[in-house]
Structure 1
């Protein structure tokens, strides 16, 4: 049960004054929640300001800088309403001070209201953004208008928040103030020595200070209030990971005793021998699975480093031991592709494989479920359909999860909650720096694949300005005529799906015109079967060029594709560019990657493209990416922020993460059930940061 002290913070935002159904919808969008019932008062407290307005700047009209937000005290001279029937002409009010004249502009201004707010010959204080045009100063819709005697009601320092269309800054500020008023005096869950060492105030005071900055330094990520909340956020994360791990460890794993019969047949069928780091990773996995504790291992390997083979050897060991394995992918395309890759080896080794995705319906689905339940299906490949209520396994001993970041602790818990306690191997092609591994998967052992399989040729990467696109198309025409295959990637233009589509569709049209009919198109809005059909045609060579949005980023395998063109490369993050580039160079032909960019490049854009030219080492690229733009993108979450973290950032707060990790280990060691005085306060912390699944785990333990 959530502690009653938190009830005011977990009531719906709709209970706040000024929040009707429409405003609630805007808040859902702004705060990134699922829907109005999921959007709570606490979410507003975590919505931190990114800058502030200093209204103490009162330069006088003539000295007000263009575009600055200033405060002006001036006398009202006259009103100029629009002519009758001309509602598109704004209402204007003219004022002056000792230095000059200012026009206030109101679109669809209500005369009655404006005459009351700005009486002629009165002195008023107004605040807003100044625009200069032809030597005249104007201010459109001032933020504040107050009579001279009410001047002290004007907020001199005002926080500026990330916004969404439909909400005004003023109304959001009012709503956040109402949320702050609900903040109770929370218990202290940190040790006094830690509070003292870091100069932290209480969590309640820190939330207040976060939303009531007094000077520019209060907005800095390293301001004391932000560091306190960031520390609590890391601590909640580390604590829930530790609790999960403690529980996962409590449910014993089934020891796996491989005979080598199946894996030997797979290795014999391979056209190459495994690399040193593949052999090492397999040895780690077999060692983990041999004991009674469940394996929880993260397998990191760059694109093309051969993670699938490592997973297959783990699967073979489990099958030799009489168990079943599942391989779970984040999307249908990937699940089907894993099936295509693995079924070749599985057939040689006598493994029976099934695919289960949301697409299987009716009788076909029932047949698959029967084969899984009877144990006839030894390996099941699919999407999260694998863990729905209706699926039961005969003896599931291993779950392999591909692309972890789409797939957090929650899903791991759901698996365990089904009373199934398989060993877990999580694979990611995103090379993740160590600090990030700690933040997101603090509970895992890590194996790294550092070599490329034998026979892979390096990929030549060049950067070309957008103006030379026609030249690239001409060269592409020659390459396709020689029988080569190529990808052409278009970005998300802004973030609206419609415009992303336009860019890919337009490019598809121009390339079809220039190169003839062998050009395919794949984007996220297409239905699964339609996408698969185009991918298949590209794989089989019926199409030679594939225009795509970033849907092809993860795991699409067409070994004879040797050219990758990425349009607007400056819009992509390093990790993503690296992932996309990894789609070529998978066969034995030399490959190239062309990064088309639109200048002028920002400093970061320039650095990013240079690193891509210099190196193919995913781990170096990941470290650079973390340095250049924050960890959020690295794990595929859009916001620049650590996945699942609202205030904490690895760039700014990495030192706190290490302390939080040790603190969490200390707590679990001393008070594993969180029943002591500090333990009970820490339960409140877990609920506050929505980590309550870890508490449910305590009870289920």
Structure 2
């Protein structure tokens, strides 16, 4: 049960002044539903401003605060033209305060002619005139002069402004009380870290690296503790030792001999499954390394031992694909494979549920529907979870309750993960690696070209389709965004390609209704549609051997891991495949290196390490890279530097106080609830 001391932090944001239904929505879009969420909504950066007596003291591009007297308002000749307010400083220098759109109404109210105001913003030059575009602050004389200012800049959603979110954060911090200390005093002294609450306050005030590191360490410690507690609990629980006799596996008709990595992984899995403590193993495989075959071998061990196995997939399309593939491969063995998804209804669903209960089904493949309350098994002893990063530890624990004893769990991911992040995300799992590809797998030619070559690319695409081949075209955004950058939008690109290819083109993106998305994917998978225009929702998608061309537009906007996953959608058949990376006109050095690496190698494990190096410090994890890690506070740099210490700290704490019952153990329980890793506490008695 959550400690009472945390209740104020888990209060809904509606309890704060000024938060009603209108403001609640944009806050929810950012995941800010409670006081603690606002506490941890840390600034992306800070703007440091300097107060100047007059404009002669300021440089172009500098953030300043200056006292101005308003002299004139100039409306634009059209609705789209800028609205300018002319003002002068104390020595007569003229400055234009420039507004666009509806902001001009604000300017008329805030800046009456003849009045003096303090103005904060970035000083720029437009032609022969100095200007500040959309001033950040306009304050009446006698109010706050803004002086030396270090101002936080927060991530926003539509309907929120910087002053509004900053005000809510300050309200949240005022409701936040100090918590008992869960870090060793010696560690705090050594690092020079503030207390938890002081760290939060400082992190919102300026570039306090010690405060940021302290908060990141808290998150890494909570995660490490939770994973270790789950692992320790798993070792104590009784599983079902499964020893197969090989009678099913020997009948498998595989299209190619097993690689050394596959044989090694199967042996590791077989060894785990023979033990009484349930297996918790991660199977990491590069794109096309043959994970499905390894998973089938593992599930057949369970079937040979008289038990049932289940495979859990993140989407219905992927579940259906796995079902077809497993059913085809398992057919010679006589093992009975079934499909169960949320879409199944009526008598067919009831029949499947009955067959699971009486043991007529050996292997079931499905989405989260396979572990709903109404689904009961005869003897579920083995579970495979595909694309592990889509499922949390909590869901793994739910699965554990489905068998007579805790089932053996094999988690698979096609996303090679750097060693550091493997420890962070999968600390409680043993790891098997498929680091070699089956023989006959062709290399994919990777080409980089500029946006100006799109016309030639479309002609090549037409030739490809005329030969009966299929292709993917991936865009980074769903709709055009306002601003100077021309962002390729999937809807705009689809409209352009549809004019050329008509009914041969289908579109998929995350905002489509599930049934529309499935219908489009099924048309493409069946070959009825030749070109799939999509966002990265196809990063984990259907297996279409006939697709031999992958186009990734504005490729510089994607991380290496994503580019590699997308490239892996082609090259699955016998024909040569090509991946075309279409780049924008301006590239950062990091983007250039990223695209060069894509041309240089197809080794997903190397690309994962390079991705970690290139993304470097500062980029927050979690939502930004399709759920790469469970962290929202810790940056990549902090994970690399702080995680080993946090992991050792967690291990020592559990060795000394396995039940978390001493003073520091009690504080650690509070930490687990604070970061919602309470599944770790629930493995303890009295948790």
Aligned pair partner of 1:425 in 404, 410, 427: 410
What does residue 48 of structure 1 align with?
A: 42
Deviations 1:454-488 (A, max 9, x none): 11121121112222223233333334444434333
Deviations 1:199-258 (A, max 9, x none): 112111111111122xxx53xxxx110111111110001111111122222221100010
Alignment of 1:23-422 (within 5 A): 23-30=23-30, 32-33=31-32, 39-58=33-52, 60-74=54-68, 76=69, 78=71, 92=85, 94-98=87-91, 100-104=93-97, 107-109=104-106, 120=115, 124-139=117-132, 142-146=135-139, 154=147, 156-213=149-206, 217-218=207-208, 223-266=209-252, 269-418=253-402, 421-422=406-407
What does residue 654 of structure 2 align with?
A: 668
Please say if 1:589 is aligned against 2:575. yes
- Count residues in correspondence: 676
> Secondary structure at the residue paired with 2:105?
coil
Matches of 2:73 and 2:577, distance apart in 1: 68
TM-score normalised to the size of structure 1?
Answer: 0.89
What does residue 698 of structure 1 align with?
A: 684
Matches of 1:503 and 1:488, distance apart in 2: 12
Matches of 1:632 and 1:364, distance apart in 2: 51
Aligned pair partner of 1:621 in 592, 603, 607: 607
User: Which is further off, 335-344 or 580-589?
Assistant: 580-589
Query: Structure 1: where are the runs of 5+ without partners?
Result: 34-38
What does residue 4 of structure 1 align with?
A: 4
Displacement of 1:99: 5.2
What does residue 642 of structure 2 align with?
A: 656
Displacement of 1:699: 4.0
Deviations 1:305-333 (A, max 9, x none): 10000000000000011111110110111
CA contact (8 A) 1:504 1:548 kept: no
Matches of 2:411 and 2:27, distance apart in 1: 35
Q: What is the root-mean-square deviation of aligned Cα atoms in Å?
A: 3.1
The 3 A distance-change label for structure 1 pair 103 and 526 is: closer
Query: Structure 2: where are the runs of 5+ without partners?
Result: 482-486
Displacement of 1:414: 1.8
Matches of 2:200 and 2:127, distance apart in 1: 45
Aligned pair partner of 1:679 in 638, 653, 665: 665
CA contact (8 A) 1:299 1:307 kept: yes
User: Which is further off, 519-528 or 412-421?
Assistant: 519-528
User: Which is further off, 247-256 or 310-319?
Assistant: 247-256
CA contact (8 A) 1:90 1:109 kept: no
> Secondary structure at the residue paired with 1:697?
coil
Matches of 1:474 and 1:555, distance apart in 2: 26
TM-score normalised to the size of structure 2?
Answer: 0.90
The 3 A distance-change label for structure 1 pair 70 and 587 is: same
Displacement of 1:190: 1.1
Matches of 1:545 and 1:133, distance apart in 2: 46
Displacement of 1:273: 1.2
Matches of 1:640 and 1:339, distance apart in 2: 25
Deviations 1:319-350 (A, max 9, x none): 01111111011011100000111111222110
Matches of 2:385 and 2:216, distance apart in 1: 29
Alignment of 1:430-469 (within 5 A): 430-469=415-454
What does residue 506 of structure 1 align with?
A: 495
